[in-house]
Amino acid sequence: MKNPPRQIDRGLKKLSMRAVIAVVAVGCLALASSAAYDFIKMQRLRSQYLDHIAEGVAADIQTQLRAPADRLNPYMWQHVFADSLGARGSDVAFLLLLDASGLVLASEGDRFAPAFSGPPGFVHVQGTALYLFDKAIANPGVESGGEAIKELGLQHRALPARLRVGIYTSSAGFIRMRAFTHMAIYVAAIAILVLAACLRRTLWALFRK
């Protein structure tokens, strides 16, 4: 049997080359998409992890201040803040108690004072990355002008309304590292895809040999 014509042979080689490029492109796109999705998911997981830490700190503080008189006493908050920061200083940067108008009633970790105001979320203060978490404070049995306050003689005290917890983002450093690993995979996949497109002529030359 005679060999196929040269034109057909070239056509088959060209088709094979395109198939290889298509497979590489699809594989790189799939890898890049997966890496990008995992990166976004890791970033969300990081925020959730930091929220969980801050939520635990806030819950522990409020558990220690159940009595109405303690809730309205800034000195009691200050004492609990000092103990909490001493026990969890590796995670917690600062603790802050605010009233409804934003007045600071108690605080610990004042070197991060620039983060005492502004919205919650990720910030940088003095070169330190922090995550700010706000927690509304419930005051069961204690309402402005209520009988409980009058009985305690605290009707002129400002009611605590919000607890802000500043968390070091390094507490979730392992999640951030995994996120950037996925980002590196994404960049590598895109780089391979671009390289394959740029070397298309070179690949065709190799198939012609």
Mean pLDDT by 10 residues, the chain (209 residues): 52 60 69 70 83 93 84 89 91 93 91 92 92 85 54 61 93 70 72 70 57
Same domain, 72 and 160: yes
Same domain, 158 and 70: yes
Residue 50 lies in a domain: no
| Number of folded domains that form the chain | 2
Residues 71 and 104 in one domain: yes
179: domain range?
A: 7-40+175-208
* 148 and 83 inside one domain: yes
Three-state DSSP class for residue 4: coil
Same domain, 139 and 155: yes
Asked if residue 58 belongs to a domain, the reply is no
Supply the CATH number for residue 121's domain.
3.30.450
Same domain as 138, residue 71: yes
- Count of other CB atoms within 10 angstroms of residue 85: 18
For residue 60, the model assigns a pLDDT of: 93
Residues 24 and 105 in one domain: no
Q: Are residues 161 and 185 in the same domain?
A: no
Q: What is the pTM of this model?
A: 0.67
Look-up: residue for tokens 């497979």?
23
State residue 141's pLDDT score. 56
Strand order of the β-sheet with 128-136 is: 104-108, 92-99, 160-168, 128-136, 121-125
Is residue 89 domain-resident? yes
Q: Residue 207 in contact with residue 13, Cβ under 8 Å? A: yes
Whether 47 is covered by a domain: the verdict is no
Residues 99, 137, single domain; the answer is yes
Within-domain flag for 154: yes
Question: Is 160 found in the same domain as 75?
Answer: yes
Instruction: Calculate the alpha carbon distances from 49 to 39, 153, 173 in Å.
Output: 15, 41, 11
Same-domain status, 116 and 181: no
Statement to judge: residues 70 and 114 lie in one domain: yes
